[in-house]
Amino acid sequence: MKACFMGLGYIGLPTAIIAAKHGVQVTGVDINPHVVEMTNQGRLHIIEPGMEEMLQEVVKSGALKASIKPEVCDAYFMVVPTPFKGNHEPDISYVESATRAVIPYLKEGDLYVIESTSPVGTTDKMKDLIFAERPELKDKIYIAYCPERVLPGNVIYELVHNDRVIGGMNEASTTKAIEFYSQFVQGTLHRTNCKTAEMCKLTENSSRDVQIAFANELSLICDKAGINVWELINLANKHPRVNILQPGCGVGGHCIAVDPYFITADFPVESQLIAKAREINNYKSFWCAEKVQNAMLRFELEHHRKPCVAMMGLAFKPNIDDLRESPAKYIVTKVMQSCNNANILVVEPNVKEHNVFKLTDYKEAYEKADIVVMLVAHDPFKTLPYTTDKIILDFCGIYKK
Ligand code: SAJ
């Protein structure tokens, strides 16, 4: 079996590698020649533990090769980004151009799958596009949607072991796609239709966003009421049917802070709660930045000098080096802009160097600072003692009870 993966990014490349390792003859396609070149040399252009060794193996055996254009295969997978435009409207133009690129190669019996996170109805739209260009293929090819749900950093395990939801445009398409994925997925492959599968991916991430918004809202209420929110949540979670998540300095990453907009853009009247959750989680970052600015002003008034501030963490969640859509990065930027960068020490132990921020060692920054702002609960920060000699703003529960 020959398969073509359109897009060699965080998901496309690992999936292509795993498929190749399981006996599929894979062509990985990317519009970026640098990515193609690196892949063919067995060098990984993304960071993912254990993946480069696997890439070298499949490149060496000839099971995977990369190219800037597709070729005749039996199955085609669209694994390209679906960002949003300025107004939070989803932009499916990459899915569309990847689809247009494979249309000339499609033949009877082929499988076409979208993996990219997509608004509801995208698979139907691409089906119409394919049949408008190639009407002779109607009822002769298989079309399905199968979202990925892996966690970066644990991709090798999760690609194989997670359950997957597979929704075809008809039963035959679902069956055909299940046959493909069962070559390397050991988790259960759940059958559905393409609209439900599209909505399922958006639902998973919106559900988490809404739950985190609840925790963040509690943190705002508790701050005003003088209650330790971490203690409160811990106690409330002792109830057998309550499971509140943790508040933080906002919600980041390229999935949870993004996917809910794919629902709110298409169903603005119905998705009140989902939209509000996005607003609350964004507001939490703004609120944190204001808290820091207020603490700095108060310090200056009391001590007649500007404080030294340690901003602890830039990543979008604990113990990773990924800064995409990071609320911590947003807060650091906002605070720096408001005070002309004076006396701000930026800390991110998982990143060696950054092209915008000058980074300081976490212990050194903590020692020097008058105000310590805990933004991301990275493990090393938990070794820093709590002290009343400094002003500590703990937005991520480093010192939770
Ligand atoms: N966060 C909190 N409080 C919590 C948990 C998380 O504030 O209690 C914050 C994190 O700090 C971070 C953000 O939420 O800023 C997102 O972190 P995450 O670990 O929840 O999610 P991601 O973006 O790394 O990965 C998610 C996962 N989806 C779900 O858990 C539903 C992953 O399984 C998906 O594959 C991925 O999105 C994706 O590709 O959609």
Atom of ligand 1 nearest to the CA of 246: 8
Beta carbon of 378 within 6 Å of any ligand 1 atom: no
Which atom of ligand 1 lies at the shortest distance from residue 201's CA? Answer: 40
Q: Which residues are catalytic?
A: 201, 255
Measuring from atom 28 of ligand 1, which residue has the nearest CA? Answer: 205
Tell me, yes or no, if the two domains 2-187 and 226-394 fold the same way.
Answer: yes
Non-local (6+) Cβ contacts of 187 within 8 A are 160, 161, 162, 163, 164
Query: Please, are residues 345 and 368 in contact by the beta-carbon 8 Å criterion?
Result: yes
User: What six digits make up the tokens of 289?
Assistant: 């930045």
pLDDT of residue 340: 72
DSSP letters spanning 312-324: E--SSSTT----T
Q: Is 123 in the pocket of ligand 1 (CB under 6 A)?
A: no
CA distance 296 to 304: 11
In three state form, how does the secondary structure of 89-156 look? CECCHHHHHHHHHHHHHCCCCCEEEECCCCCCCHHHHHHHHHHHHCHHHCCCCEEEECCCCCCCCCHH
Which pLDDT band holds residue 401 (cuts at 50, 70, 90)?
Answer: low
Question: Residue 244 is encoded by which pair of tokens?
Answer: 């509140």
The total of other beta-carbon atoms located within 10 Å of residue 189's CB is: 18
For ligand 1, is residue 208 a contact (CB within 6 Å)?
yes
Sign, CA torsion 144/150/152/157: negative
Q: Is the CB of 280 under 6 A from ligand 1?
A: no
| Atom in ligand 1 nearest the alpha carbon of residue 150 | 35
At 341, the pLDDT band (50, 70, 90 cuts) reads low
Cβ–ligand 1 distance for 324 under 6 Å, the answer: no
Is 27 near ligand 1, meaning CB less than 6 Å away?
A: no
- Ligand 1 centroid vs 256 CA: distance in angstroms? 6
Give the closest residue (by CA) to ligand 1 atom 9: 251
Nearest CA to ligand 1 atom 37: 255
pLDDT in tens, 283-339: 999 999 999 999 999 999 999 999 999 999 999 999 988 898 999 999 999 999 998
Give the separation between CA 282 and CA 203, rounded to whole angstroms: 19
Location of structure tokens 């807060």: 331
How many helices and strands, by DSSP H and E, does the chain display?
13, 12
CA angle 285, 273, 205 (to 5 degrees): 70
Average pLDDT rounded to a whole number, residues 159-187: 97
Model pLDDT, residue 318: 94
As a whole number of Å, the CA-based R_g of the chain is: 24
Structural domain spans, the chain: 2-187, 226-394
Average pLDDT, the chain: 96
Q: Is 203 in the pocket of ligand 1 (CB under 6 A)?
A: no
Q: Do 172 and 144 touch, CB atoms closer than 8 A?
A: no
Give the tens place of pLDDT for each residue, 262-291: 999 999 999 999 999 999 999 999 999 999
151 Cβ inside 6 Å of ligand 1: yes
Task: State in Å: Cα 72 to ligand 1 middle.
Answer: 37
Residue located nearest, by CA, to atom 4 of ligand 1: 246
Q: Is the pLDDT of residue 197 over 80?
A: yes
Domain 226-394 matching CATH 3.40.50.720: the answer reads: yes
One-letter identity of residue 267 = F
Q: Could you write out the DSSP letters of every residue in 261-307? A: HHHHTT-TTT-HHHHHHHHHHHHHHHHHHHHHHHHHHHHHHHHSSPP
Taking only the tens place, the pLDDT of each residue in 101-154 is 999 999 999 999 999 999 999 999 999 999 999 999 999 999 999 999 998 889
User: What's domain 2-187's architecture?
Assistant: 3-Layer(aba) Sandwich (3.40)
> What's the CA gap between 62 and 375, in Å, rounded?
45
Above 80 in pLDDT, residue 21?
Answer: yes
Single-letter amino acid code for the residue at 77: F
* Distance (Å) from CA 252 to ligand 1 centroid: 8
Q: What percent of the chain has pLDDT over 70?
A: 100
| Ligand 1 pocket: which of 82, 212, 274, 284 to mutate (most atoms within 8 A of CB) | 212
